[in-house]
Homo-oligomer: A and B are copies of this chain.
């Protein structure tokens, strides 16, 4: 890894970046309790994207882990999950939050949300996401019981924990610092995270 600028993913906002095949993104949970919704799209055709329902048959698990590949809806690797200094608790089951969700949670005014953040982040680099795939919710703690019940847990990660995801094809990675401050998934505090592009 070469030294690279540390970039800010602002609290409650989104960012997207391009990775060439072989480059990686290091996503840093600076404060330890911030969920980062993460998406990946094929740079040449964003209709191909990271898709958990297509990954699960290949990894045999609903929880992606260090050392595994993240696959697309065309059943090939888009990112390799190369490093993870956290306890490895990440979610793939829950959609990114959106305006509809905050309405159901009682909000009567606009609430920042990860779905709008994805669209804004992609527009910042000149793209329109063709879809809103289920994100990789880094550090989101959604335990699943054997009867299928899920609960909203608080993050179990620590300040400075990071993951490294290495591009297996030229791709776009988009992130949103989840603004969910009604449920406990961000421990009630929505803060910034950081990221670096690594060669």
**Interface positions of A (Cβ within 8 A of B):** 51, 53-54, 56-58, 60-63, 73-76, 93-95, 98, 100-101, 103-104, 131-132, 134, 144-151
Contact = CB atoms under 8 A, between A and B. Distances in A.
Contact of A62 (B93, B101, B104): B93
A71 to B, nearest CB: 9
A94 B73 CA distance: 11
Consensus secondary structure, chain A interface: loop
A83 to B, nearest CB: 20
Contacts of A56: 93-95, 150
18 contacts: A53-B93, A53-B95, A54-B95, A56-B95, A56-B150, A57-B94, A57-B95, A57-B101, A60-B149, A60-B150, A60-B151, A61-B148, A61-B149, A63-B147, A75-B101, A76-B100, A131-B131, A146-B146
Contacts of A73: 95, 132
Nearest to A142: B56
A144 B58 CA distance: 15
A146 B62 CA distance: 10
